[in-house]
Structure 1
Amino acid sequence: MAEHDYTCRIAWTGNRGEGTRAYRGYDRTWDISTPGKPVIHCSNDPLLGGDPRLPNPEDLLLATLSGCHMLWYLHLASIAGIVVTDYVDQPVAKGESASDGTGRFLRATLKPTITVRAGADLVRSEAIHAEVHRHCFIARSVNFPVDYAATYREV
């Protein structure tokens, strides 16, 4: 196995002038910077005082899981001779929070709507989802179950 590094810069942007002197005296905002890529402005989950207009860590994890699955699905579909012309996912993750503020994801369900060329092997199209989990870096790294509930359209 070859190892490789991923880097980014996380910079807190929520100092209102007094730092963390008071619990409610600072914003839960930060920027993600990756060399050569656009900055992503983020916040905490709104349930924990974050800005609801900005992505939070939970949003980013779910989007990353979905994106990784999509990219591997497209790759494996191409190899299988299945022509995908559109792919839109609306994943849902279930989390839990304890009274002490700790939390975790319990599971995620990816719900892609996949448009394939007429005549595509839909049985094979569905089977590819199970193969993706063996390849996807993110899915292989999380400690909660990831399910798939895909729908298909033929054009």
Structure 2
Amino acid sequence: MSTHTAAIEWSRAAHPTDATTYSRNHVATLAGGQTVTMSSSPTFLGDPECADPEQMVISALASCHMLFFLAIADLKGFPVARYADTPSGELGKTEKGQALTRITLSPRVTFVDKAPDAATLTAIHNSAHKRCFIANSLTAEVTLDLG
């Protein structure tokens, strides 16, 4: 199908607030040359000014869902004017250890002309979820808050 690449680079440095450990900060370089400064979550001695891997996973899921939603809505005659989401993820314990166990997407959509009825809107979201490559790659429960 297709191959997707990125690069991660970390070099040892002192932790800015804990002299007994090292900095978790690193840089992810994406295929287009964009860089993202990353760290672990602040819960795990990371830098709160940086993106953490869990945020990147929930962002990737939200982005993938959105892109499929936009395509499906457009094909069904409901072009989207604006789409915003505030995804959140919960860490929990699984048989394999800690993992993202639940991710909630909270998309808010404004349509160009007419909006679909509630049942059609839900069907478009369900279809987007079913097709989303990231959702199909995760074991976390994914829920939609269409509130």
* TM-score for both structures, normalised by structure 1: 0.82
- TM-superposition CA deviations, 1:37-94 (whole Å, max 9, x none): 2111100010010000100000100111001000100000000001211111011212
Q: Is the 8 A contact 1:82 1:125 kept in 2?
A: no
Q: What amino acid sits opposite 1:82 in the alignment?
A: F
| 1:27-38 matched pairs, under 5 angstroms | 27-38=23-34
Structure 2 partner of 1:103: 98
* Alpha-carbon distance in structure 1 between the residues aligned to 2:87 and 2:13: 35
Residue 16 of structure 1 is aligned with which of 13, 17, 22?
13
Q: Secondary structure at the match of 1:4?
A: coil
Q: Is the 8 A contact 2:78 2:114 kept in 1?
A: no
- TM-superposition CA deviations, 1:83-141 (whole Å, max 9, x none): 2111110112121269xxx5211111100111124532223122111111221110000
Q: Is the 8 A contact 1:89 1:112 kept in 2?
A: yes
Structure 1 partner of 2:116: 121
Which stretch shifts more, 64-73 or 31-40? 31-40
* Alpha-carbon distance in structure 2 between the residues aligned to 1:121 and 1:35: 36
Aligned-pair Cα RMSD in Å: 1.9
Q: Are residues 105 and 36 of structure 1, via their aligned partners in 2, closer, same or farther at CA, if it must alter by over 3 Å? A: closer
* Alpha-carbon distance in structure 1 between the residues aligned to 2:45 and 2:93: 15
- Structure with more helix by fraction: 2
Structure whose CA Rg is larger? 1
* Alpha-carbon distance in structure 1 between the residues aligned to 2:80 and 2:4: 30
| 1:1-150 matched pairs, under 5 angstroms | 3-13=1-11, 15-16=12-13, 24-96=20-92, 102-122=97-117, 123-150=119-146
* Alpha-carbon distance in structure 2 between the residues aligned to 1:11 and 1:80: 43
* Alpha-carbon distance in structure 2 between the residues aligned to 1:78 and 1:118: 11
Q: What percent of counterpart residues are identical?
A: 29
Q: Is the 8 A contact 2:103 2:141 kept in 1?
A: yes
Q: Is the 8 A contact 1:94 1:108 kept in 2?
A: yes
Q: Secondary structure at the match of 2:133?
A: coil
Q: Are residues 82 and 97 of structure 1, via their aligned partners in 2, closer, same or farther at CA, if it must alter by over 3 Å? A: same
Structure 1: segments with no counterpart, 5+ residues: 18-22
